[in-house]
Structure 1
Amino acid sequence: MLNRIKGWRERGWHEVDAAAYAQAWQRFGGSVATHPLVIAQLADLAEIPVRYLAWEEQGELKAAIPTWGRYLALSKDVLKRAGKKGLFDLGNAELILPAATDAQVPLRHAGRYLSELNQGRFANLKPQVESLAMARTPEDLSKKFRYNQRRELRLLEEAGGQVRPVTDFSSAELAAMYCDLFQRRWTFPATGAERMAEVLERLRELLIGSVLFLDGAPIAIQLVYRVEAPEWISVEYVNGGVDPETKAFSPGSVLSFLNTQSAWEDARARNKPLRFSFGRSDREYKDRWCNPVPVFQV
C-alpha cells in the first residue's frame, strides 16, 4: 500500500543525486530554505537522508525538489515525528523550488509557505491562510520613518554604541550572543539553542548582517541568511534577540534598518530583485517594515 502511495506521489518524477539538484537550483533559482547547502547541511545534522527528485520533459529538465518521505525536505512535521523538534531554526521560511517558469509540474509532496513565485512552475498549489512578511523597498518606507531610524542609530552611536559585522565573530561567539539575547528578550530559549553554534558553522557562508554593541556588550543580533539565485536574491530573517534593558535606543529597530538597507544596496548593485522575508506576518512590528505577500501549500 505504501509503495503504491509513493508511486502515485512520485509519478513522472525520477530520483537524482544532490549534484543534479544543485545544478537545477543554480539554473532555475530558489530560496534560502531550498538552497543545496542548506538542505544538505541541515539534513545531515538531522540524520535524515534527502531523496532528490527531478522532472523532465522530452529529455529536458523542468524541475527538481528535495524530499523527506511525503514531505519537502527540512519539514518541521518530519523533525517532530523523528523526535527532533526544534533541532534547528529556519522560522517559517519562504520556499521557492527550482523549476522552469512555465513548467506546471505536479507537486504532490507536502509543504507550506510556498512562494508565489512557484505559481506557473508547479500545479496543485493551494492558497494558504497565512501570509509572509516581505520587506518593503527603502522608498516604500515613509521619509519620517527612515529619518527616525537614522536618528536612533546616531543616538546609539553617540552613546558609545558600535555596529560590527557578523564576519567579525566565530560561529560559537555568534551563537552565544544570539542565544543569550534571545533568552533575555523572550524569556525562553531560542529554537535550536543546543546545536546553534554547529548550525551557524554549517551555514556560515550564508550569514549576513551586523551585531549592535553598547559599552562593549552585545545588545542586538539577528539571524539572517542570504542566497543569490540567477534572477533574484533571497534573504531569510529567522529571528533575533535584543537586550530589553537598552530598549530606549530601539536596538531591534535600528538593526532591522541596517540589515534591510544593506541587503537592498547589495541587491541593487547586482541589479536583482530582493526577497527579504521576515517570516510569517504575525507580529505588529513586521507591518512597519513589510508588505504581506500570499503563500501556498500542498
Structure 2
Amino acid sequence: MLSHLRLWREQGWTPIDAATYAELWQRFGGSVATHPQVVERLAGLAGIPVRYLGWRERGELRAALPTWGRHLALSKDVLKRQGKRGLFDLGNAEIILPMAPQARVALRHRARYVSDLHAEHISSLREQAEGLALAREPEQYSKKFRYNQRREQRLLEEAGGVIRPMLELSAAEQAAIYAELFQRRWGFEATGKAHLTEVFALLREFMTGSLIYLNDEPVAIQVLYRVEAPQWVSLEYINGGVDPQTRDFSPGSVLSFVNTQAAWAEARALGKPLRYSFGRADREYKDRWCHRVPVYQV
C-alpha cells in the first residue's frame, strides 16, 4: 500500500541526487527553506535522509524538490512525528522550489507557505487562509513613517545605543543573547533552545542583519537568514527578542528599520528584487512593515 501511495505521489517525478538538486537550485532559484545547504545541514542535524526528485519536460529537468516521505524536507510535521519537535526553527518560511519559468508541475507532497511565484505552475495548489508578510520597498513607507524611524534610531544612539553586525558574534554568543531576549520578550523559551548554538553554526554563512546594544547590554536581536538566487534574494525573518525594559527607545522597531534598509540596499546593489519575509501575516506590527501576499498549500 505504501509503495502504491509513493508511486502516485511521485508520478511524473524521478529520483535525482543532491548534486543535481543543487545545480537546479542554482539555475532556477529558490528560497532559504529550499537552499541545498540549508536542507542538507538541517536534515543532517535531524538525522532524516532527504529524497530528491526531479521533474522532466521534453527530456530536460525543469523542476526539483527535496522530500521527507510525503512532505517537503524540513517539515515541522515530520520532526514532530519523529519526536524531534522544535529541533530547529525556520518560522513559516516561504517555499520557492527550483522550477523553470514555464514549467507545469503536479505536486502531491504536503507543503505549506508555497510562494505565489508558483501559483500558475503547480496545479494542485490551494490558497491558504492566512497570507505571507513581505517587507515593503523603502519608498512604499510614508515620509512620516521613515522620519519617525530615523528619529527613533537617533534617540537610541544618543542614549548609548550601538548597532552591531550579527556576524561579529560567535554562534554560542548569538544563541545565548537570542535565548535570553526571546524569553524576556515572550515569556517562554525560544524554539529549539537546546540546539541554537549548533543550528546557528550550521547556518552561519546564511545569517545576516544586526543586533542592538544599550549601555553595553544586548537589547534587541533578530534571526535572519539570507540566500541569493539567480533571479532574486530570499530573506527570512525567523524570530526575534527584545528587552521590554527598553521599550521607551523602541529597539525592536529600530532594528527592523536597520535590517530592512540594509537588505534592500544590498539587493539593489546586486540588481535583484528582494523577497524579505516576516512569515505568516498574523500580527499587527507586520502590517506596518509589510504587504500581504497570497500563499498556498498542498
Q: Normalization by structure 2: what TM-score?
A: 0.99
Secondary structure at 1:164 match in 2: strand
Partner of 1:245: 245
CA distance in 2 between counterparts of 1:125 and 1:167 reads 38
> Any residues of structure 2 matched to 1:10-89 within 5 Å, and which?
10-89=10-89
Letter in 1 for 2:135: A
Letter in 1 for 2:57: E
CA distance in 1 between counterparts of 2:64 and 2:209 reads 30
- Contact preservation (8 Å) 1:102, 1:120: no
> Any residues of structure 2 matched to 1:86-97 within 5 Å, and which?
86-97=86-97
Partner of 1:224: 224
Superposed CA deviations along residues 188-212 of structure 1, whole A, max 9, x for unmatched, are 0000111001000000000000010
1:255 aligns with 2:262: no
Secondary structure at 1:77 match in 2: helix
CA distance in 2 between counterparts of 1:184 and 1:52 reads 40
Using the TM superposition, give the Cα deviation of residue 28 of structure 1 relative to its aligned residue in structure 2, in angstroms: 0.4
Using the TM superposition, give the Cα deviation of residue 148 of structure 1 relative to its aligned residue in structure 2, in angstroms: 0.6
Superposed CA deviations along residues 52-91 of structure 1, whole A, max 9, x for unmatched, are 0001122211100000000001111101100111110000
1:234 aligns with 2:242: no
Report the count of equivalent residues.
298
Using the TM superposition, give the Cα deviation of residue 121 of structure 1 relative to its aligned residue in structure 2, in angstroms: 2.9
Partner of 1:169: 169
Superposed CA deviations along residues 22-78 of structure 1, whole A, max 9, x for unmatched, are 111000000001111110011001111000000112221110000000000111110
Partner of 1:144: 144
- Contact preservation (8 Å) 1:101, 1:120: no
> Any residues of structure 2 matched to 1:78-227 within 5 Å, and which?
78-227=78-227
Unaligned runs of 5+ in 2: none
Unaligned runs of 5+ in 1: none
Partner of 2:278: 278
Superposed CA deviations along residues 140-172 of structure 1, whole A, max 9, x for unmatched, are 111111111111110111011100001111011
- Contact preservation (8 Å) 1:103, 1:120: no
Secondary structure at 1:224 match in 2: strand
Percentage of matched positions with identical amino acids: 65
- Contact preservation (8 Å) 1:219, 1:251: yes
Using the TM superposition, give the Cα deviation of residue 120 of structure 1 relative to its aligned residue in structure 2, in angstroms: 2.8
Letter in 2 for 1:226: R
Using the TM superposition, give the Cα deviation of residue 254 of structure 1 relative to its aligned residue in structure 2, in angstroms: 0.2
- Contact preservation (8 Å) 1:185, 1:243: yes
CA distance in 1 between counterparts of 2:152 and 2:58 reads 58
CA distance in 2 between counterparts of 1:119 and 1:26 reads 21
Which structure's residues are more often strand, by fraction?
A: 1
Using the TM superposition, give the Cα deviation of residue 12 of structure 1 relative to its aligned residue in structure 2, in angstroms: 1.4
Letter in 1 for 2:5: I
CA distance in 1 between counterparts of 2:132 and 2:277 reads 7
Using the TM superposition, give the Cα deviation of residue 285 of structure 1 relative to its aligned residue in structure 2, in angstroms: 0.4
Letter in 1 for 2:82: A
Superposed CA deviations along residues 262-292 of structure 1, whole A, max 9, x for unmatched, are 0000011111110000000111000100001
Using the TM superposition, give the Cα deviation of residue 11 of structure 1 relative to its aligned residue in structure 2, in angstroms: 1.0
CA distance in 1 between counterparts of 2:45 and 2:164 reads 29
1:2 aligns with 2:10: no
CA distance in 1 between counterparts of 2:121 and 2:82 reads 31
Task: Show structure 1 runs of 4+ deviating over 4 A.
Answer: none
CA distance in 2 between counterparts of 1:121 and 1:170 reads 41
Secondary structure at 1:114 match in 2: coil
Partner of 1:296: 296
Letter in 2 for 1:126: R
CA distance in 2 between counterparts of 1:117 and 1:174 reads 33
Q: Normalization by structure 1: what TM-score?
A: 0.99
Using the TM superposition, give the Cα deviation of residue 119 of structure 1 relative to its aligned residue in structure 2, in angstroms: 2.1
- Contact preservation (8 Å) 1:100, 1:121: no
